Structure 1
Amino acid sequence: MSIESMITFYLAIFIFSITPGPGVFALISNSLNNNIKTSYALAFGMSMSDVVYLVLAFFGLVALTQNYATVFEFIRIAGGIYLIYLGYKIWTSPIETNIKNEKVTKASYAGNFFKGFLISASNPKVIIFYIAFLPTFVDLSVLGVSDLIVISIITLFALMNGLLFISYSAYRAKKVLTTKKSVIILNRTAGSIMGLAGAYLISKD
């Protein structure tokens, strides 16, 4: 894989990472309503889930989406219900006009990592994307372990950079909202986004 291919691959994955979808919407909602550090864990979970799908794609496990369709269906529905629940909690959260630098515990990091991983894992079509996308940049027939490691690292960095860009942008927007009315609108908007993301996960094929 040439340097030019690596750069092009990175840019393509970066663009893919900021494409609107349940994961991006969940990240925006989390950044608007929680400590920015929890969004790092959420983004990392989402990125790691994608890397898992990337590795599966490398090994040609397309059959995984067929033989284990029921498992993926359960994950998708469970993830959707969880997002709807989070949307409700955000919608009904107390009104606070002071942005606090809340302490983030290990449990917070772990919980948000798992949430992010579940959101991305609920979309098994990602593996199809990678299978269709990767041959443009690499010859899978001669792919070695070292190539797999390099491409996985590039993918992880591209995804994290894209998702953190989204997260930080949303967090900066939050900091200008200091009145009670604006916070109510913020909570309603973020809760709605999260709920709609969950509904989308449940309803999509």
Structure 2
Amino acid sequence: MLTLEQFSGFLVAALLITATPGPDNLMVLGMGISNGRKQGIAFGLGCAAGCLSHTVLAVLGVSALIAASATAFTLLKIVGGLYLIWLGLNAWRSNGSAGVKTVRTMESSLSSLFLKGCIANAINPKVVLFFLSFLPQFVVTINGRVPVQLAGLGLTFTLQAAVLFSLLGYFSGAVGQWLNRRPKAGMILDRVAGTIFVGLGLRLLLPV
């Protein structure tokens, strides 16, 4: 099980990162603007559900690594920390100018849009790398039951993404117009997420 400190720290980081303008949430906004609220919500829930596949990979891969070698797991966390710092620096260099583009589709059922969102997220190699780098940072090995910790973290990320993406789909029109009128808002969110990434990486590389 996750401790309260683990859960709260991870949830705050996950919420801020998910809220940062990126391919997934911008597509959810575009889908909602072009096709309607229900379609945006269905696609967003699919994107969130796709995170479950990455959670399974993280649980299996990281657990096997820990069983093989504690040193290898430490190396994974260090490499993951460097990757998060790299993501953070890229976010800081971003001009935050990403706008919301409409995503017009042929008449599709809500279930097919859900499936499309799920597949789009599940096959994205960048999301795989992110999960393998992000989740282990919040694992406390001395608490034991690492697979359960990873599963809890992945499920938490999935649930908060489902909530945020559903809200984005529902309020897609208003949010999309707001972001397009205020390009600096995207820049601010990028800076916040970048700071979180760098902070997580430094926490691992420079343990107190």
Same fold (TM over 0.5): yes
Query: Could you tell me how far 1:88 is from its partner in structure 2?
Result: 1.0
Query: 2:50·2:121 contact (CA, 8 Å) conserved in 1?
Result: no
Over residues 125-154 of structure 1, what are the superposed CA-to-partner deviations in whole Å (9 max), with x where a residue is unaligned? 3473327xxxxxxxxxxxxxxxxxxx97xx
Which runs of structure 2 are paired with 1:6-155 in the superposition (5 Å)? 18-21=7-10, 25=13, 28-34=16-22, 35-36=24-25, 41=50, 44-46=53-55, 48-50=57-59, 64=67, 68-96=69-97, 98-100=99-101, 109-121=124-136, 125-126=140-141, 128-130=143-145
- Report if aligned partners of 2:20, 2:186 keep a CA contact under 8 Å in 1: no
AA matched with 1:164: T
Q: Distance in 1 between matches of 2:134 and 2:79?
A: 9
Shift of 1:180: 2.1
Within the candidate set 181, 184, 189, 2:184 is matched to 181
**Contact 2:81/2:133 (<8 A) preserved:** no
Distance 1:116 1:81 in 2: 14
Shift of 1:93: 1.7
Change (3 A) 1:53 1:108: closer
* Separation of aligned partners in 2, 1:185 and 1:98: 14
Residue correspondences, number: 163
Distance 1:115 1:50, change over 3 A: same
RMSD: 4.4
Cα 1:69/1:14, change in 2 over 3 Å: closer
Identity %, equivalent residues:
19
| Unaligned segments of structure 2, at least 5 residues | 26-43, 104-116
Residues 105-141 of structure 1 show CA distances to partners (whole Å, capped at 9, x for unaligned) of 579623212320233345663473327xxxxxxxxxx
Equivalent-residue separation in structure 1 for 2:59 and 2:202 (angstroms): 21
Name the CA shift for 1:199/1:42 in 2 (closer, same or farther; >3 Å). farther
Q: Distance in 2 between matches of 1:124 and 1:17?
A: 8
What amino acid maps onto 1:185 in structure 2? I
C-alpha contact 1:97 1:183 (8 A) present in aligned 2:
yes
Structure 1 alignment gaps of length 5 or more: 1-11, 132-150
TM-score by length of 1: 0.55
SS of the residue 1:188 aligns to? helix
1:163 maps onto 2:157 in alignment: yes
